[in-house]
Amino acid sequence: MAKARKKLEKLALTASPTDKAQTAAEEMRAAYDFVPFEDADGIVVLGGDGYMLQTLHQMIDKGRILPAYGMNLGTVGFLMNKREASRLPILERVNRTRQFEVSPLMMTATTHGGDTITSCAINEVSLLRETRQTAKLEIKVGHKVRIPELACDGVLVATPAGSTAYNFSANGPILPLGCGLLALTPISAFRPRRWRGAILPDHLPIEIRCLDAKKRPVSAVADQKEIRDVDSIRVEVAHERDLTLLFDRGHSLDERIVAEQFEI
C-alpha cells in the first residue's frame, strides 16, 4: 500500500553504464544540482530493472537506504517510471510521487561443510539442482512440514517486486507491491505432480531442507549470489531493511500488474 508522503530536499543521481543512461545523466546534471549519496535524502536511478536492483542492494550493503525513483532507460522497466512522462523539474516530480515499500528477503543457508551464510534478496531466493539428478526437498512453512518430499528441478520464493521475473517465467503468480504476500513456486515439479505452488503471508518463515543432499546437490541463489552444496535454507522477510520505491501518480502500477498477466 502507498506510504505517507515525505518531502525530499536533496537528490543523488546514479546511472547504469550504458551510453543511453550516461547521456541522460549528463542532461539531468546540467538541469539540477545533484548531491553526493551521503548527503542525499532520495536517489534518482537511470537504467532498467536490473540496475535498480543493483542500486538497492548497494544501499542495503552500505546500511543507508534512500527512497529510490527510477527512470526507465532499460528494457522492461517494471520497477521504473517513464522518463518522458513529465516535464516538471526533477525535484518537484519526485515529490509528487507515491511511495511503495519493498521488503527484501533474508536467506540463511547451511552448507555440507557446516558453514552458515546469509544473503539478502529483493527479487527471489531459489534452490536449483546442480547435476542431472532431480532435487528432493522437504518444505516447511510456519514451522510445519507442508510437503515431505518435493521432486523437482528446484523451487523459489519470490517477493512482489520479483514476482514478474523468474517467478512468472516458472508459472508463478504476479503479486502486487505492498500486498504482504510471497510466492512459493516449484520449478519443473515431478512429484507431487499436481502441486503448482502457494501464495503465503510474508510473516511466515519458509524452511527448505535438501534430502539426500550429497547425492543430489543443490545450490541456493539470493538474487545473483549463489551458494553451492547447501543442506538447507531458511527464508524470512527482513522488514528492518525495507526499501522505498517512488512512482509517478500517473504511472498506473496496478494496471501494469494486471496487464502483465494477459500478455501473450
Q: Find residue 234's DSSP bridge partners.
A: 108, 207
Q: Is 49 a catalytic residue?
A: yes
Q: Is 149 annotated as a binding residue?
A: no
Q: Is 165 annotated as a binding residue?
A: yes
Q: Is 109 annotated as a binding residue?
A: no
**What distance in Å separates the CA atoms of residue 226 and residue 258, rounded to the nearest whole number?**
32
Q: Is 153 annotated as a binding residue?
A: yes
Q: Find residue 199's DSSP bridge partners.
A: 183
Going through the chain in order, the beta strands assigned E by DSSP cover 2-3, 11-15, 42-47, 68-72, 98-102, 105-111, 116-121, 124-129, 135-141, 144-152, 154-158, 181-187, 198-201, 206-210, 218-222, 225-227, 230-237, 243-247
**What distance in Å separates the CA atoms of residue 236 and residue 157, rounded to the nearest whole number?**
10
Q: Is 33 annotated as a binding residue?
A: no
Q: Is 171 annotated as a binding residue?
A: no
Closest to 123 (Cα-Cα) out of 109, 141, 139, 105: 105
Q: Is 168 annotated as a binding residue?
A: yes
**What distance in Å separates the CA atoms of residue 45 and residue 55, rounded to the nearest whole number?**
8
Q: Is 51 annotated as a binding residue?
A: no
Q: Is 167 annotated as a binding residue?
A: yes
Catalytic residue among 39, 41, 49, 229: 49
Q: Is 164 annotated as a binding residue?
A: yes
Q: Is 212 annotated as a binding residue?
A: no
**What distance in Å separates the CA atoms of residue 224 and residue 124, rounded to the nearest whole number?**
9
Residue ranges for the binding site?
Answer: 49-50, 123-124, 153, 161, 164-169
Residue ranges for the binding site for NAD(+)?
Answer: 49-50, 123-124, 153, 161, 164-169
Which residues are catalytically annotated? 49
